[in-house]
């Protein structure tokens, strides 16, 4: 069915034109003006990563507004994804890590216990053990015995409570005379938030004159002699 032609006045430029539909503009140019005038103004948001102002335009801008967070660059977007993933992993670790560590504790394995006992007897060491955090792990015990150093050594920070630091930091293995602190880390120390806490702890201990060394559980269990040699080389310097 054909539409009747009507004479209309363009709402933008005021020209009269013949229209066969309910169009109110005489040309594409005038129609684009109508669309620009009715378009919602762009929203300015802060980049969720670096805080820079982001003008939210187009499809991506509308998506930023819908989600309530914007990013000024792909790099900031990737950084946010990594940070969120790390935070999620940290929350999961806090919820399940204790039970998982107890279930997977290598000292519950008879073969591991026998291996540790054999190595300790061969070393001839019986170090003073002061375990205040639920007991020593097999790697921690092995390295402490190989060095003949104390475990769970408390180092006063000299900082009062409420200033963002504990009154003392406890290290897995330490020698107060040499001021060398050793941390034997499990997989949970790979989380970004945990790495930040470790870096904060290391920085403060170093400011107090301590040398902080870190070894992974796997390195101690598989290459104990190399770990001991590294500590000895630090002492010799």
Residues 118 and 53 in one domain: no
The predicted pLDDT at position 148 comes to 83
The pLDDT of residue 128 is above 50: no
Per-residue pLDDT of 5-44, as tens digits, reads 778 888 778 888 877 677 777 888 888 887 777 666 778 8
The pLDDT of residue 179 is above 70: yes
The reported pTM is: 0.49
Work out how many domains the chain is built from and give that number: 3
Look at residues 54, 89, 104 and tell me which one is the last residue of a structural domain: 104
Look at residues 85, 104, 123 and tell me which one is the last residue of a structural domain: 104
Residues 118 and 226 in one domain: yes
When pLDDT is averaged across residues 205-233 and rounded to a whole number, the result is 90
Domain of 146? 106-236
When pLDDT is averaged across residues 127-144 and rounded to a whole number, the result is 65
When pLDDT is averaged across residues 49-77 and rounded to a whole number, the result is 84
Residues 144 and 100 in one domain: no
Residues 99 and 113 in one domain: no
The predicted pLDDT at position 169 comes to 93
The predicted pLDDT at position 101 comes to 52
Higher pLDDT, 64 or 168: 168
The predicted pLDDT at position 190 comes to 56
The predicted pLDDT at position 174 comes to 92
Residues 214 and 113 in one domain: yes
Residues 19 and 50 in one domain: no
Residues 119 and 185 in one domain: yes
**Is the separation of the CB atoms in 152 and 131 below 8 Å?**
yes
Residues 50 and 112 in one domain: no
Residues 51 and 24 in one domain: no
Residues 60 and 128 in one domain: no
Residues 120 and 174 in one domain: yes
Residues 25 and 141 in one domain: no
């Amino acid at each position: 069915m054909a539409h009747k032609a009507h004479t209309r006045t363009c709402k933008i430029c005021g020209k009269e034109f013949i229209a066969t539909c309910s169009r109110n503009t005489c040309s594409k140019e005038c129609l684009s003006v109508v669309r620009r005038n009715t378009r919602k103004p762009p929203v300015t948001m802060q980049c969720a990563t670096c805080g820079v102002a982001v003008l939210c335009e187009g499809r991506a801008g509308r998506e930023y507004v819908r989600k309530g967070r914007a990013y000024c660059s792909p790099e900031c977007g990737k950084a946010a994804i990594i940070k969120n993933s790390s935070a999620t992993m940290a929350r999961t670790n806090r919820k399940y890590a204790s039970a998982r560590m107890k279930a997977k504790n290598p000292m519950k394995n008879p073969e591991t216990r026998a291996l540790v006992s054999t190595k300790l007897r061969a070393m001839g060491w019986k170090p003073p053990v002061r375990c205040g955090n639920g007991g020593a792990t097999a790697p921690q015990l092995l390295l402490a015995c190989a060095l003949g150093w104390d475990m769970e050594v408390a180092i006063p920070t000299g900082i009062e409570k409420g200033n963002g630091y504990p009154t003392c930091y406890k290290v897995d293995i330490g020698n107060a005379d040499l001021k060398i602190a050793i941390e034997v880390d499990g997989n949970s120390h790979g989380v970004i938030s945990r790495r930040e806490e470790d870096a904060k702890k290391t920085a403060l201990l170093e400011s107090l004159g301590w040398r902080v060394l870190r070894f992974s559980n796997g390195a101690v269990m598989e290459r104990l002699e190399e770990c001991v040699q590294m500590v000895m080389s630090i002492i010799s310097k």
